[in-house]
Amino acid sequence: MGAGGSMNYANVIEFVKQQISDNGRPPNYPFRDRFEHTMRVYRWAIKLQAQVGGNLDVIVLAALLHDVGWEEGREHGDVGAEIAVEFLDSIGIEPEIISRVGEIIRIHDDKDTEEELSLECRVVMDADLLDEVGAISVLWDSMATACEDGASYKRAYTRIKAFYTGNRPKIRRCKTEVGRLEFGRRMKLLEEFLAQLEKELF
């Protein structure tokens, strides 16, 4: 059962869209859409899987369902795993796949874990880590600055630079070599962007 086989991801995507819309998790910023984030993680997970392998159904389902959970005072991974397991069971997914997907969702946020992780878990964690790093983080920081009082190019620059400085060491969180290479490329892009921006701005 694979992407081209009997599994229908479209109904999973529909469920995810509804869950994210209904779960009441407050957005960090009005422009940040968690469903769009989920779809980008899903696309990156497929790209990573194409290069490193792993069970595609487990990876896709975990990537799609990784952020469906939200409850005040509880880890969103725990809540999401419960929701995902119940949903996947209701649509007749085999128990072994359900169990693997649930486990990935439960721990996906613990990017600094030293635990031995399955290849599928490492792929999903890297796809999640890669989202909102790179060109997209420049958009994020610029838009976030524009939402604040006293917005200016200089304040956006300061925020982009702080993001770059704070996130560069997080390459250690990458769990696959392909993820590490992509993360490194994105940091290089930010470094070059900041160097150019400094020439134009100051």
CATH of the domain at 34: 1.10.472.50
Structural domain harbouring 143: 135-201
| pTM strictly above 0.75 | yes
Dihedral Cα 130, 131, 136, 139, nearest 10 deg? -130
Long-range contacts at 162-166 (CB < 8 A, ≥ 24 apart): 163/137, 163/190, 164/190, 164/191, 164/194
Q: Does residue 134 contact residue 189 with C-beta atoms inside 8 Å?
A: yes
| Total number of domains constituting the chain | 2
Q: Examine the domain organization and report whether 71 and 148 are in the same domain.
A: no
- Pair 153, 201: CB distance under 8 Å: yes
On whether both 32 and 78 belong to a single domain, the answer is yes
The structure tokens 């069970």 sit at: 55
**Pair of tokens at residue 60:** 């896709």
Which of 97, 105, 103, 17 has the alpha carbon at shortest distance from 57? 97
Kindly give the interhelix angle for 9-22 and 76-90, rounded to the nearest 10 degrees: 140
CA 148 to each of CA 41, 123, 140, 162: distance values in angstroms, whole numbers, following the listed order: 28, 35, 13, 16
Tokens of 128: 């999640």
Q: Is 91 part of any domain?
A: yes
Q: Compute CA distances 89 → 47, 66, 146, whole Å.
A: 27, 16, 44
Residue 124 lies in a domain: no
Q: 46 — phi, psi (to 5°)?
A: -65, -40
Kindly state whether residues 89 and 44 are assigned to the same domain.
yes
Q: Give me the tens of pLDDT residue by residue for the chain, a chain 202 residues long.
A: 444 445 789 999 999 999 999 988 888 888 889 999 999 999 999 999 999 999 999 999 999 999 999 988 899 899 999 999 999 999 999 999 999 999 999 999 899 988 899 999 999 999 999 999 999 999 999 999 999 999 999 999 999 999 999 999 999 999 999 999 999 999 999 999 999 999 999 9
H-type helices in the chain, by residue range?
A: 9-22, 34-52, 56-65, 76-90, 95-107, 119-130, 135-146, 153-167, 177-201
